[in-house]
Structure 1
Amino acid sequence: MKEYKLQGLSCANCAAEMESEIKKLDHGEQSQLKFGSSKLMVNEDVDLERVRQILKSDGASLVEEEGHEHTHDHSHGPNMKLLVILSGMIFGLTFIVESMVPSFVVIAMYLIAMGISGYQTFLKGAKNLIRFKFNIDTLMTIALVGAIAIGEWREATMVAILFGLNEYLEGLGMEKARNSMEKLLKVAPKQATLLRENGTEVVVSIESLQKDDVVLVKAGEKIPSDGIVIEGFSSVNEAAITGESLPVEKAPGETLYGGSINNEGLIKVKIAKAYQDSSLAKILHLVEEAQDRKTPTELFINRFAKYYTPIIMVISGLVMVAPPLFTSASWGASFYQGLAVLIVGCPCALILSSPIAIIAGITRNARNGILIKGGVFLEQLGKIESIAFDKTGTLTKGEPTVQETKVYHDDFYKIAGSIEKSSSHPIAKAVMKEVETIQQALVEPTAVNAIPGKGIHAEIEDSMYYIGSEQTISHLTISEGQSQDIEGLKEEGYTLVIVSSDEEVLGVFGIADEIREESATLIKDLHKAGIQKTIMLTGDHEKTARKVAEKIGVTDVYADLLPDQKVDQVKALSRSRKLAMVGDGINDAPALATADLGVAMGKGTDSAIETADIVLMQDHLGKLPSAVKIAKQVNRVVKLNISLALGLKLFALLLTIPGWLTLWVAILSDMGATILVTLISLTVLWQKPGAQTEAINEEGEVQPSA
């Protein structure tokens, strides 16, 4: 399959019809015309000339030049805006001089104005009539011919001009949403400075980079692909990946994400992945694909539109013939009213009610570092009522830290640090982190031995010391106060690390998984955003889980869960209300897949991108409430758009009862609905001043918003 960029694609209904025509060509069965991203996928063996003809029939065309930059047309033809203005000026002039010149001159001027803005619609509609194909162009052509037939020259011209303006504005709104997405996609770098083995530098395209290549990245340049710093120090703007505006310091050995911007010094980077396998490439591909995944609402609208137009034509016919047959109404007036009903039947606003808002929502979330894999998942997120969280690594940092200490001897920290300083065990690292805050002088222990299931004993300055669980002090008699302290720490759900000698207990570390700083605020913000239940799922024992839950404010806790039990719990929770599952995208894959919606927190890891429906590209959940709010806003906008589109048309149709519906009122009702749904949809892109999001400038550079 070969991919082509399109220009001049402004009508979703027309795009679907053109796709249907292209699929009828030889080798065209698998063709896809993507209205959202304005792209065409066709088999290389398809007759491209025939494809061009089909596209041309609706004012669209292929953009075949590699890397060609262009501005999309906003309607049928590159100068539609100018044509509408010109025909409007001629119409205005004709209206002014109508009483001063012969009627044939007036008719000629109206025809010229009508032809300038409506000739393309007329030609397409005429072709469709011959093929008994009824769409918006067919309806408009019938209306124009009918108005001319009954001598309504001024009305016919007004219809042609307003319809041309409507088509232009419709395309303009869709293009605004597309352009916001395209600016986002421009964050991908184009070239890189490759450092060859002989030390020479050469500029190459990023597509040619291979794993283990070494590149030089100067200040202000983009990192070409995922890699590792092997030389140099700098700060990097990772907003293109994570949506975070604060720079991240990078030193040799640290990882980099493709598309990040090197803020300062020259760094040498070893490529970890070819660009097409990088996090950025996957993100951009998924974001682009997301535009064309239809939501249930969009699918319903498309099905409805298929029946909507024929129904309108039947209603139009009844309006034309029923009143004269059964009442004293004149045939001319009824015919005129029937033509107006045809115009009211244009489905443009209805079809546009969803896609612009969906693209705007996906784009705005992507700018925030929130990757939503399709409109269907955005719509689903807006319907979520409860969210379940894996505890470890999600609500907590996934690494043990000392939460509380009980000190009974001055040498407590010195002995603990001296024994644990050489250990790589996570708990030993937690102890050392705490010891370092006290700045104790450590000594080198001798005869260090591990006691399975207990801990470590070591000889320090001719005395024996122990560090580990309660079992390491089974040989000691401890005071009532120490016993109460130990029981209290256990009640708090802490893991105990006890330091003792042969004679006494020196002190106790109470260790637990550290809660993320943002977790409590996150839960509060989610409840404010309309989430009714926040649930924590964990394999930890009940006391530890309850302790964390109390601190962060989740509504429900399920502890002591094995992986398969976690999946069963997600299934059970999903039965009562719409449930999203949030995890790290690695260990939680089964639960993420089981929930109504899977949300992974991964900062660009492959597993996170591949597992979930939504990926938070940061290493925290701080932007999840924002994603929920945007999704709910999109759903509200789509419902409002549908109501407006159908409501205005229903209002216009009701005007036929007293005979007040005119052709220009009909086209204004259709144009008004189109303009309203477009403008309302574009409000999704609007960000409150001061919000912590990123803006993408015309060159695709990431810039913090003001």
Structure 2
Amino acid sequence: MNTRWYKHPRTILLIIAATVTAFTLIAEIGFGLPEMWAIILYSIAIVVGGIYPARSAWVELRNGSPSINTLHIAAVIGAIYLGLWGEAAGLVVIFSLGELMESYASDKARNAIRALVELAPSEATVIRNGRQMRILTEQVEIRDIVLVRPGEKIPVDGVVTKGSTTVDQASITGESIPVSKQLGDEVFASTLNERGALEIEVTKLAQDTTLAQIIKLVEGAQMKKGKGQRFSEKFGAIYTPAMFVLAIIVAIVPPLFFGQPFDEWLYRALVVLVVSCSCGLVLSVPVAVVTGIGTAARSGVMVKGGIYIESAGSTQVVAFDKTGTLTVGKPSVTDLVTVSDLSNKQLLEIAGALEKQSEHPLADAIMEETLNKKITIPDVEEFDSLTGRGAKGKINGNNYYIGNPRLFNELKVNINKDHVMQIEKLQGQGKTVMLLGTANEVLGMIAVADRPKENAKQAIQSLKEAGVKKVVMLTGDNRLTGEAIGKELGVDEVRAELLPEDKINAVKELQKQYGQVAMVGDGVNDAPALAQADVGIAMGVQGTDVALETADIALMQDNLDQLVYTLKLSKKTVSKIDQNIAISLAIVAFLVVTALIGVMPLTLGLIINEGSALIIIANAMFLRRYQWKKEGIRTKNNASDIPLTNVE
């Protein structure tokens, strides 16, 4: 971590320079301090306060890239030439104060990183050879057993080997509701153990935990520059030399060609140099980007650089992977249809008994449904798995079959017209239909599907209200399933039966047609499409190393509301960047024009100039208010409940 702004030697030198300048000014005006002593004291202030700006200006000149520091030093030298020692000292103090404000703004914007670092406990209780010992977290080794008592923070990532509890995971995922943890569950460093004692087997060293990766990502994000930052740098490369040329023209042309007083026009040239040293212009982009990234990090959203927060803010199309992103990601029972004297309960009892020994994913859906409905499953005899078709077994002395329609066709069971219509209706909704019956008749149907997430429809609507022009679903599923899910959720377009390379081509087509495209997926299977998109967003990636590495933006919760928050915050950040640039350019234009016509005094111009930096900083800091409402995580009623505060 860098030295905090108030501990930096530059701050100490500024305090000395400001004190000497103020003392000299008071002594000169109030007590008639001799001019020679005043010059000596002002010189001390100039030297002490100008060490860092002069050093920076010298390096810039050597590298052939003059900047605002160079303009500043040139203005100070010009003021000294005109004998304006007090003004020269004032220039040094006020400009250095502006740089101090920049450091303070950056420090505040990076508080999220420091807060993350301070989350993890520095010590851990390890059980080795049957003995408990307290050691530094950095000394904990993989496969060590760590004891975490109630009320303590978990020091490392690991898996629960003993005990059960609830854990507050807000520091990693942003979710407010504590999560139940028991044998075999994964836990993360910095999260809070609330109730029971846990023994945890360490799976990652302290420097490799999910928290450590998040800190590295947020720190690295500040090095990746977006279009706004690149514009600022390109503009500065032209702007600074142009101001030098303008100042030289102002100082030389009127005296040389029009017989004007040299000192008067040199003074105007100095004012041009001073007011063109715009701290606000320098700060306009980076302070907004860093504040946006820090604000996102505190809400469980990891943005890997300014380029990605700007891209997300300009998104025209959002493309979703279906499975695990818009849907739960595992099949569940959606319909129970009896076509006999059996009740739904009896249908589930027989199906559960047959599927209890099956390893098919659809069997898991039926077993979960029996568990949810608290169904008592009878014993099954003579069980046999019929590969690719279903299963059979004897229950209470009767033989039963469960499987796809093909199985019952092979058994030559009569599937009447009404049954066929019901099957086709369910399949048309994107559901897989299993039949339950005997060798003579169909007794019932069970439909299974991957359900949409409960807030998916609302989130898609909220994206459209936030300015996204089109929402597209990309899936490898068959067209019937894809279109059924898409229609239910309200997406604008469904592209189905896609291989990974097809998803890349789909993203390319959307980019060509609409411009900026965001791709949302799990960060692993969708890696090619995530890479092709202008911004790749991975959802629910706590503990998933690959997803953290491949995505441009990583949402630590598997929650679509967090995606809506991310795009809204990104749009707000882009808006703040545009506002800051416009404000800075307007102030600079006003100051330069008034300097050229001779109505702007040197000191007042400098004060207004530095004041513009305060406006820019304050405007960017408003982004810190746009936090994701933790209590709004489970909102499901309407689009107005999107968990984002203060969004206009």
In the superposition, the TM-score normalised over structure 2's length comes to 0.89
Give the alignment partner of residue 338 of structure 1, picking from 264, 269, 273: 269
Given the alignment of the two structures, is residue 7 of structure 1 paired with residue 35 of structure 2, yes or no? no
The aligned residue for residue 647 of structure 1 is: 586
The aligned residue for residue 492 of structure 2 is: 555
Given the alignment of the two structures, is residue 498 of structure 1 paired with residue 435 of structure 2, yes or no? yes
SS in structure 2 at match of 1:183: helix
Given the alignment of the two structures, is residue 170 of structure 1 paired with residue 102 of structure 2, yes or no? yes
SS in structure 1 at match of 2:561: coil
SS in structure 2 at match of 1:513: strand
8 Å CA contact 1:84–1:117 kept in 2: the answer is no
AA matched with 2:517: L
8 Å CA contact 2:537–2:551 kept in 1: the answer is yes
Given the alignment of the two structures, is residue 510 of structure 1 paired with residue 447 of structure 2, yes or no? yes
8 Å CA contact 2:322–2:474 kept in 1: the answer is yes
- Counterparts of 1:222 and 1:551 in 2: how far apart (Å)? 42
- Counterparts of 1:152 and 1:459 in 2: how far apart (Å)? 105
Shift of 1:526: 1.3
Which range moved further: 339-348 or 210-219? Answer: 339-348
Task: Summarize the Cα distance change of 1:478–1:280 in structure 2 as closer, same or farther, 3 Å threshold.
Answer: same
8 Å CA contact 1:84–1:165 kept in 2: the answer is no
- Counterparts of 1:130 and 1:605 in 2: how far apart (Å)? 44
| 1:539-572 Cα deviation digits (max 9, x unpaired) | 1122211111122111110012122222222222
- Counterparts of 1:688 and 1:239 in 2: how far apart (Å)? 13
AA matched with 2:242: I
The aligned residue for residue 530 of structure 1 is: 467
SS in structure 1 at match of 2:449: strand
- Counterparts of 2:550 and 2:52 in 1: how far apart (Å)? 49
- Counterparts of 2:363 and 2:56 in 1: how far apart (Å)? 79
Shift of 1:536: 0.3
Given the alignment of the two structures, is residue 662 of structure 1 paired with residue 601 of structure 2, yes or no? yes
Given the alignment of the two structures, is residue 583 of structure 1 paired with residue 521 of structure 2, yes or no? yes
Shift of 1:115: 4.3
AA matched with 1:216: L
Given the alignment of the two structures, is residue 467 of structure 1 paired with residue 467 of structure 2, yes or no? no
Task: Summarize the Cα distance change of 1:685–1:88 in structure 2 as closer, same or farther, 3 Å threshold.
Answer: farther
AA matched with 2:225: K
Give the alignment partner of residue 251 of structure 2, picking from 320, 326, 330: 320
Shift of 1:573: 1.8
| 1:397-441 Cα deviation digits (max 9, x unpaired) | 111011112123323222112212233322112112223444444
Give the alignment partner of residue 567 of structure 1, picking from 504, 509, 516: 504
Shift of 1:178: 2.5
What are the within-5 Å matches in structure 2 for residues 228-627 of structure 1? Answer: 228-408=159-339, 409-410=341-342, 411-474=346-409, 475-576=412-513, 577-601=515-539, 602-627=541-566
Task: Summarize the Cα distance change of 1:126–1:252 in structure 2 as closer, same or farther, 3 Å threshold.
Answer: closer
SS in structure 1 at match of 2:385: strand
Task: Summarize the Cα distance change of 1:140–1:540 in structure 2 as closer, same or farther, 3 Å threshold.
Answer: closer
- Counterparts of 1:378 and 1:131 in 2: how far apart (Å)? 30
Given the alignment of the two structures, is residue 121 of structure 1 paired with residue 60 of structure 2, yes or no? no
The aligned residue for residue 628 of structure 1 is: 567
The aligned residue for residue 624 of structure 2 is: 685
Shift of 1:110: 7.5
8 Å CA contact 1:522–1:622 kept in 2: the answer is yes
AA matched with 2:476: G
- Kindly tell me the number of residue pairs found equivalent between the two proteins: 623
Given the alignment of the two structures, is residue 196 of structure 1 paired with residue 192 of structure 2, yes or no? no
SS in structure 1 at match of 2:542: coil
8 Å CA contact 1:111–1:157 kept in 2: the answer is no
- Counterparts of 1:616 and 1:147 in 2: how far apart (Å)? 53
Which range moved further: 463-472 or 570-579? Answer: 570-579
- Counterparts of 2:105 and 2:59 in 1: how far apart (Å)? 32
Give the alignment partner of residue 675 of structure 1, picking from 602, 608, 614: 614
The aligned residue for residue 144 of structure 1 is: 76
- Counterparts of 1:685 and 1:84 in 2: how far apart (Å)? 31
Task: Summarize the Cα distance change of 1:76–1:681 in structure 2 as closer, same or farther, 3 Å threshold.
Answer: same
- Give the CA RMSD over aligned residues: 2.8
SS in structure 1 at match of 2:537: strand
8 Å CA contact 2:49–2:96 kept in 1: the answer is no
- Counterparts of 1:413 and 1:401 in 2: how far apart (Å)? 13
AA matched with 1:676: I
8 Å CA contact 2:351–2:366 kept in 1: the answer is yes
8 Å CA contact 1:402–1:434 kept in 2: the answer is yes
8 Å CA contact 1:599–1:614 kept in 2: the answer is yes
Shift of 1:205: 2.0
- Counterparts of 2:604 and 2:512 in 1: how far apart (Å)? 49
| 1:298-332 Cα deviation digits (max 9, x unpaired) | 23323432343222122111111212233353222
- Counterparts of 1:647 and 1:401 in 2: how far apart (Å)? 59
Given the alignment of the two structures, is residue 76 of structure 1 paired with residue 10 of structure 2, yes or no? yes
Task: Summarize the Cα distance change of 1:551–1:115 in structure 2 as closer, same or farther, 3 Å threshold.
Answer: farther
Which range moved further: 186-195 or 164-173? Answer: 164-173
In the superposition, the TM-score normalised over structure 1's length comes to 0.82
AA matched with 2:578: K
8 Å CA contact 1:390–1:536 kept in 2: the answer is yes
Which structure 1 residue ranges, 5 or more long, are not aligned?
A: 10-70, 695-704
AA matched with 1:236: V
SS in structure 2 at match of 1:618: coil
SS in structure 1 at match of 2:34: helix
| 1:474-517 Cα deviation digits (max 9, x unpaired) | 22224443333222212222100111123322211111101111
The aligned residue for residue 152 of structure 2 is: 221
- Counterparts of 1:481 and 1:128 in 2: how far apart (Å)? 86
AA matched with 1:248: V
8 Å CA contact 2:272–2:596 kept in 1: the answer is no
| 1:172-224 Cα deviation digits (max 9, x unpaired) | 22222133432233223322111102x11122222222221111112232222
| 1:125-179 Cα deviation digits (max 9, x unpaired) | 3996799655544433443343344344554454344324323322222222133
The aligned residue for residue 91 of structure 1 is: 25
- Counterparts of 2:348 and 2:573 in 1: how far apart (Å)? 55
Which range moved further: 539-548 or 294-303? Answer: 294-303
Give the alignment partner of residue 181 of structure 1, picking from 101, 104, 113: 113
Task: Summarize the Cα distance change of 1:107–1:685 in structure 2 as closer, same or farther, 3 Å threshold.
Answer: farther
Which structure 2 residue ranges, 5 or more long, are not aligned?
A: 634-644
| 1:31-73 Cα deviation digits (max 9, x unpaired) | xxxxxxxxxxxxxxxxxxxxxxxxxxxxxxxxxxxxxxxx644
- Counterparts of 1:274 and 1:344 in 2: how far apart (Å)? 52
Task: Summarize the Cα distance change of 1:655–1:570 in structure 2 as closer, same or farther, 3 Å threshold.
Answer: same
- Counterparts of 2:46 and 2:103 in 1: how far apart (Å)? 15
- Counterparts of 1:281 and 1:126 in 2: how far apart (Å)? 35
Task: Summarize the Cα distance change of 1:644–1:572 in structure 2 as closer, same or farther, 3 Å threshold.
Answer: same
The aligned residue for residue 642 of structure 2 is: none
Which range moved further: 75-84 or 396-405? Answer: 75-84
| 1:13-43 Cα deviation digits (max 9, x unpaired) | xxxxxxxxxxxxxxxxxxxxxxxxxxxxxxx
The aligned residue for residue 26 of structure 1 is: none
- Counterparts of 1:136 and 1:439 in 2: how far apart (Å)? 73
SS in structure 2 at match of 1:249: strand
Task: Summarize the Cα distance change of 1:485–1:635 in structure 2 as closer, same or farther, 3 Å threshold.
Answer: same
- Counterparts of 1:625 and 1:690 in 2: how far apart (Å)? 12
Task: Summarize the Cα distance change of 1:148–1:646 in structure 2 as closer, same or farther, 3 Å threshold.
Answer: same
Which range moved further: 131-140 or 309-318? Answer: 131-140
The structure richer in helix per residue is 2
8 Å CA contact 2:175–2:630 kept in 1: the answer is no
